[in-house]
């Protein structure tokens, strides 16, 4: 049996090294017919085939390998997620954390969601300054950084397989305000064990990250070479499009009614069709890539397709980093936290911060809890606005999950309307309250079956062995013995639900904290997010401000730092006027201006580099 598992592991790791996510999922869907074979996936070593790096190659690899020349697997796709703190499973370094510190069962995740996260008002509290685009960009960014695959298969996790080691179903309490069943099905995250010693497991269950950990626009380009190649035209450095929209060939989860004019869009990340606001972000950056490739081709007529593609990809990755650290992240963390962790980019010039000892790999607690704060920003609707920012279409969000209609109609111009809506309308306040469209009606199917997003977040944290909330407070140097960063109402709710501070889940405790100054998260999530983005910055050999052959010249960096998300939108969608700060609603301090009044980069510093 041990020999069979060892052979399976070798095959599995080889597959991970050469296959894209779609083939990877199909493989384990087939294996799931034999539960023992599926479990074999869980006990594989996490060491992929040995890599050979070319230290002279100036561009990023597609899968993130060889970013760190001494540790080629750091940040690579299809590798185990790292941790800030050791995991806490119930037993065997494997079983989900489902018991209190006093060995009593933890409350049902749906019960916690009902008592802590339910919106009990008839209206949504809107953020006074942030717009929907801030939420949407955060979702888009998250998909650049982490994708945790699930164990694949046809498991009846609310039926005969409810007690299977492959399942972690959520109990629905009696008298639930929405669900009539007593169980919400959920499979466990696919995982690896990291070490073996004399054929015995000595490491803990570690979940996988299917995408690169770096801020490298892998959500645009893909996290393996096969996916990257499928998205290219191999002509003039451009990426595939269909009728000015995203290319076809997307996931099977996509649903559409008009078979003549609609299709499933494809992108660098498989989640592109989850909701229209996300699909519009993907198209924005594909168009921007093709726009830049055209500019570079015009000034470098001798460049071949490969140079044009790689140079454009490098620029888009750099601009993504610049937008994240100069525009998006300060609104999440506030200026003081940004300063404390030295996350703000320099206003001009280079800033070489790369440290080869820093592992930039995405940490488990960041992906499964801290960076899910944005789920509280989601509103109950998806909309399209006209060029004059008036509403054209409004749909309930549950009617748009996996339906790309709003993005693909009228030859891709539907995405423009979705983006204009995101610019003009405010997002929900990040207040620990979740709207019914995600808390009751997530991924509702034709039979009316659906899920609860914050309940899944809690359950997934337990699945991953995430230590309780108080240990993260201690890790961050915060008071971990009281609910000192909660208002009285939320403190009482947490005490009523958990009875003891030691039992509180990370997501429940941190999601309900009072916000840090100038930010939209509490001090615990601010700490974890800031620490993770410090790793992304210092552990990236291709960080956009670094000097050297992997970086940009002073003149090039000057042009990159001229770019704002507003200027990107002006170059890529139908809009005449736009707010100067793309993540803020229009106001006296953030008025709409003509696109030609914004500063746009010039591309002459890239002339004749090769």
Catalytic residue flag (residue 143): yes
Whether 207 is covered by a domain: the verdict is: yes
More confident residue, 443 or 31: 443
Q: What pLDDT does residue 462 have?
A: 96
Which residue, among 368, 393, 374, has the nearest Cα to 382 in the 3D structure? Answer: 393
Q: What pLDDT does residue 49 have?
A: 60
CATH number of the domain bearing residue 284: 1.10.640.10
Whether 184 is covered by a domain: the verdict is: no
Angle (deg, nearest 10), helices 305-323 and 276-299 = 130
Whether 309 is covered by a domain: the verdict is: yes
Whether 457 is covered by a domain: the verdict is: yes
Give me the mean pLDDT over the 470-495 stretch. Answer: 95
Query: HSE on the CB side for 256, CA within 13 Å?
Result: 23
Q: What pLDDT does residue 255 have?
A: 87
> What kind and span of H or E run contains 17?
helix 2-18
User: Residue 242 has what DSSP assignment?
Assistant: B
More confident residue, 133 or 253: 133
Are the CB atoms for 50 and 76 separated by under 8 Å? Answer: no
Structural domains counted in the chain = 1
Q: Which region among 39-48, 198-207, 279-288, 499-508 has the lowest average model confidence (pLDDT)? A: 39-48
- pLDDT higher than threshold 80 for residue 459: yes
- pLDDT higher than threshold 80 for residue 23: no
Q: Which region among 127-141, 183-197, 210-224, 242-256 has the lowest average model confidence (pLDDT)? A: 183-197
Instruction: Tell me which residue range forms the domain holding 521.
Output: 45-149+189-606
Whether 20 is covered by a domain: the verdict is: no
Give me the mean pLDDT over the 343-362 stretch. Answer: 95
Out of 29, 134, 143, 402, pick the active-site residue. 143
Which residue, among 459, 438, 410, 604, has the nearest Cα to 110 in the 3D structure? Answer: 459
Give me the mean pLDDT over the 215-237 stretch. Answer: 97
- pLDDT higher than threshold 90 for residue 18: no
Banded model confidence at residue 609, pLDDT cuts 50, 70, 90: low
Q: Which region among 77-91, 121-135, 190-204, 450-464 has the lowest average model confidence (pLDDT)? A: 190-204
Percent of the chain with pLDDT over 70: 89
Are the CB atoms for 393 and 262 separated by under 8 Å? Answer: no
Burial 57-94 (b: 16+ CB within 10 A, else e): eeebbbbbbbbbeebbbbbbbbbbbbbbbebebeeebb
- pLDDT higher than threshold 60 for residue 488: yes
Helices (H), 166-275: 218-221, 225-230
Whether 181 is covered by a domain: the verdict is: no
Which residue, among 433, 370, 424, 404, has the nearest Cα to 282 in the 3D structure? Answer: 404
Give me the mean pLDDT over the 237-244 stretch. Answer: 94
- pLDDT higher than threshold 80 for residue 34: no
Q: What pLDDT does residue 43 have?
A: 39
Cα 592 to Cα 569: distance, rounded to the nearest angstrom: 13
Q: What pLDDT does residue 19 have?
A: 34
Which residue, among 243, 238, 568, has the nearest Cα to 412 in the 3D structure? Answer: 243
Q: What pLDDT does residue 2 have?
A: 39
State the chain's mean pLDDT as an integer.
Answer: 88
Whether 71 is covered by a domain: the verdict is: yes
User: Residue 383 has what DSSP assignment?
Assistant: E
Banded model confidence at residue 161, pLDDT cuts 50, 70, 90: confident
Banded model confidence at residue 5, pLDDT cuts 50, 70, 90: very low
Q: What pLDDT does residue 8 have?
A: 41
- pLDDT higher than threshold 70 for residue 9: no
- pTM comes to 0.90
Whether 168 is covered by a domain: the verdict is: no
Give me the mean pLDDT over the 292-310 stretch. Answer: 97
Is the Cα torsion angle 393, 394, 396, 400 positive or negative in sign?
positive
- How, if at all, do strands 426-428 and 577-579 pair? unpaired
Query: What DSSP string describes 281-335?
Result: HHHHHHHHHHHHHHHHHHH-TT--HHHHHHHHHHHHHHHHHHHIIIIIHHHHH-H
pLDDT tens for residues 430-445? 989 999 999 999 998 8
More confident residue, 154 or 432: 432
pLDDT tens for residues 321-333? 999 999 999 999 9
Banded model confidence at residue 301, pLDDT cuts 50, 70, 90: very high
Dmax (CA) of the chain? 70
Q: What pLDDT does residue 163 have?
A: 83
- pLDDT higher than threshold 90 for residue 119: no
């Amino acid at each position: 049996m041990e020999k069979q598992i060892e052979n399976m592991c070798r095959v599995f790791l080889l597959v991970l090294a050469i296959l894209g996510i779609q083939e990877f999922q199909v493989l384990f869907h087939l294996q799931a017919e034999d539960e023992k074979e599926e479990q074999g996936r869980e006990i594989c070593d996490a060491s992929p085939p040995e890599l050979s790096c070319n230290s002279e190659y100036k561009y990023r690899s597609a899968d993130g390998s060889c970013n760190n020349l001494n540790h080629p697997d750091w940040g690579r796709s299809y590798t185990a997620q790292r941790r800030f703190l050791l995991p806490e499973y119930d037993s065997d370094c494997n079983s989900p954390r489902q018991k209190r510190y006093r060995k009593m069962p933890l409350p049902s995740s749906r019960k916690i969601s009902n008592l802590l996260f339910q919106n009990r008002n008839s209206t949504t509290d809107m953020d006074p300054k942030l717009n929907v685009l801030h939420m949407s960009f955060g979702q888009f960014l998250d998909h650049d950084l982490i994708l945790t695959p699930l164990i694949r298969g046809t498991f009846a996790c609310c039926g005969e397989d409810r007690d299977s080691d492959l399942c972690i179903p959520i109990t629905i309490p009696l008298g639930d305000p929405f669900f009539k069943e007593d169980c919400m099905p959920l499979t466990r995250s696919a995982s690896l064990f990291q070490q073996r010693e004399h054929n015995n497991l000595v490491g803990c269950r570690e979940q996988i990250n299917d995408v690169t950990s770096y801020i490298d626009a892998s959500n645009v380009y893909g996290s393996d070479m096969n996916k990257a190649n499928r998205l290219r035209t191999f002509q003039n450095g451009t990426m595939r499009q269909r009728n000015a929209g995203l290319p076809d060939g997307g996931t099977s989860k996509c649903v559409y009614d008009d078979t003549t004019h609609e299709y499933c869009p494809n992108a660098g990340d498989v989640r592109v069709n989850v909701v229209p606001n996300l699909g519009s972000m993907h198209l924005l950056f594909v168009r921007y890539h093709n726009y830049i490739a055209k500019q570079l081709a015009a000034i470098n007529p001798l460049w071949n397709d490969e140079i044009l593609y790689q140079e454009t990809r490098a620029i888009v990755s750099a601009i993504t980093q610049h937008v994240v650290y100069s525009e998006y992240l300060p609104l999440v963390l506030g200026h003081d936290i940004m300063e404390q962790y030295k996350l703000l980019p320099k206003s001009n010039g280079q800033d070489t911060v790369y440290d080869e000892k820093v592992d930039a790999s995405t940490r488990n607690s960041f992906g499964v809890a801290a960076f899910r704060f944005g789920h509280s920003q989601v509103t109950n609707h998806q909309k399209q606005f006209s060029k004059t920012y008036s509403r054209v279409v409004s749909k309930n969000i549950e009617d748009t999950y996996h339906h790309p209609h709003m993005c693909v109609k009228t030859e891709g111009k539907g995405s423009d309307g979705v983006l204009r809506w995101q610019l003009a309308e405010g997002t929900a306040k990040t207040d620990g309250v979740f709207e019914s469209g995600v808390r009751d009606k997530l991924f509702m199917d034709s039979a009316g079956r659906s899920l609860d997003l914050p309940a899944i977040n809690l359950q997934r944290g337990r699945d991953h062995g995430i230590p309780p909330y108080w240990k993260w407070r201690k890790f961050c140097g915060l008071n971990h013995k009281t609910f000192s960063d909660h208002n009285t109402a939320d403190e009482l709710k947490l005490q009523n639900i958990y009875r003891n501070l030691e039992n509180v889940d990370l997501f429940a405790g941190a999601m309900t904290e009072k916000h840090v100054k100038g930010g939209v998260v509490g001090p615990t999530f601010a700490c974890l997010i800031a620490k993770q983005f410090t790793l992304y910055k210092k552990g990236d050999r291709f960080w956009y401000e670094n000097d050297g052959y992997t970086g940009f010249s002073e003149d090039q960096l000057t042009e990159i730092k001229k770019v704002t998300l507003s200027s990107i939108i002006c170059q890529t969608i139908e809009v005449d006027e736009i707010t100067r700060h793309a993540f803020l609603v229009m106001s006296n301090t953030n008025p709409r201006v003509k696109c030609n009044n914004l500063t746009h980069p010039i591309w002459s510093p890239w002339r004749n580099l090769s």
